[in-house]
Amino acid sequence: MIKILAIESSCDDTSAAVLWDQTVKSNLIYNQSIHEQYGGVVPEAASREHIKNILPVIDAALKKADTSLQELDAIAYTQSPGLIGSLLVGAHTAKSLSQVLNIPLLAVQHLQAHILSCLIEEPRPNFPFLCLTVSGGHTQLVLCHSASKMEVIGETQDDAAGEAFDKTAKLFGLKYPGGPLVDKYAKEGNPTAFEFAKPKAEGLNFSFSGLKTSVLYFLQKEMRKDDQFIKNNLHDLCASVQKTIVDILLSNLEKAVTHTKVTNVCVAGGVSANSELRQRFENLGKEKNWNTYVPKFEYCTDNAAMIGIVGYYNYLDKDFASFDTPTEARSKF
């Protein structure tokens, strides 16, 4: 049995998990609420919070998993992409533990981890499978040939889907992070109340910046007539924006399935926690006879369990990192 401690610190969540082979024994996340007052993540503040919290979170994860440091076979950590200061806190912690314990180090690509979160629990998709990866910083269509061989066949040309949620939420006066609030208020709104632009991109690529502009101009026009327009129509606005974003995502996903003829299909990443996306994805899968997979909510947002599952496959492949492995703010498969 392979016992792995995994560390995730790519942005503003400090997370540690312990996996015994593919079984998650613990997966703890410390959320940094400090950023709410600024309307977005402040990189320097995030780094300081990671420094303060990473060792207590690791200790709690080990205790919950009833696993000691001496029992560990490897340390996995997020190597890229992300906020460089946040990444370095996790990387240096992982490298220090690896050196002290004299056990292998496993460097993990964050986006690969989101994709392989679909493999944490049963039912697991068989390879090859398609994954729509949707998060605050990335939106991609990835054809997964194996746990280590992945091909990006479509990606956003500007904003990510998560950014589209958060930026439009900010226009509505909602607190950060706005995406979950849009989802919450949309449940009580009419998704066809307002129509917004659906920007086009070449091939299987995405574009969302035009959507934010469309919403902005619409609000400016309506607020000139009624300065309480947003307050009086908040639920319908959230529902309409959410529908537009999900329409764009699923339209391209359907095109990708037609193009690749791969019908094992996953949705992963932080935005995969969105209730409408999950429901409409499942419904589309039934309509098109796809095999559909969505991770449990706890594995959708940034978490260490997804880092651990990639670490598990890297360990099997003997794909070990060195103490010289660079930490990178930006990277692609």
Q: Is the pLDDT of residue 31 over 90?
A: no
- pLDDT tens-place string over residues 285-300: 999 999 999 999 999 9
Q: Is the pLDDT of residue 21 over 70?
A: yes
Ordered alpha helix ranges (H), the chain: 43-64, 84-101, 110-116, 161-171, 179-186, 209-225, 229-260, 275-288, 304-316
From-to residues of CATH 3.30.420.40 in the chain: 3-115+299-316, 126-294
The dihedrals phi and psi of 247, each to the nearest 5 degrees, come to -55, -45
pLDDT value at residue 12: 86
- pLDDT tens-place string over residues 96-113: 999 999 999 999 999 999
- Identify the CATH number of the domain defined by range 3-115+299-316: 3.30.420.40
DSSP result, 144-195:
ESSSS-EEEEEEBSSS-HHHHHHHHHHHTTPPSS-HHHHHHHHTTS-TTSS-
Of 31-45, 141-155, 161-175, 242-256, the poorest mean pLDDT is in 31-45
Q: Is the pLDDT of residue 262 over 90?
A: yes
pLDDT value at residue 38: 59
Tell me which of 32 and 265 has the higher pLDDT. 265
**Average of per-residue pLDDT across 12-37:** 89
- pLDDT tens-place string over residues 57-84: 999 999 999 999 999 999 999 999 999 9
Q: Is the pLDDT of residue 44 over 90?
A: no
pLDDT value at residue 34: 62
**Average of per-residue pLDDT across 251-275:** 97
Task: Spell out the residues 6+ positions from residue 152 whose beta carbon is closer than 8 angstroms to its own.
Answer: 140, 141, 142, 332, 333
Task: Spell out the residues 6+ positions from residue 57 whose beta carbon is closer than 8 angstroms to its own.
Answer: 14, 15, 16, 28, 29, 30
pLDDT value at residue 61: 98
Residue-averaged pLDDT of the chain: 95
pLDDT value at residue 37: 63
Q: Is the pLDDT of residue 39 over 70?
A: no
Residue in this structure with the two tokens 């029992």, named with its chain if needed: 71
Q: Is the pLDDT of residue 53 over 80?
A: yes
- Identify the CATH number of the domain defined by range 126-294: 3.30.420.40
At how many degrees (to 10) do helices 179-186 and 229-260 cross? 100
- pLDDT tens-place string over residues 186-229: 999 999 999 999 999 999 999 999 999 999 999 999 999 999 99
Prediction pTM value: 0.94
**Average of per-residue pLDDT across 273-278:** 97
- For 23-46, b/e burial (b = at least 16 CB within 10 A) is ebbbbbbbebeebeeeeebbbeeb
pLDDT value at residue 45: 86
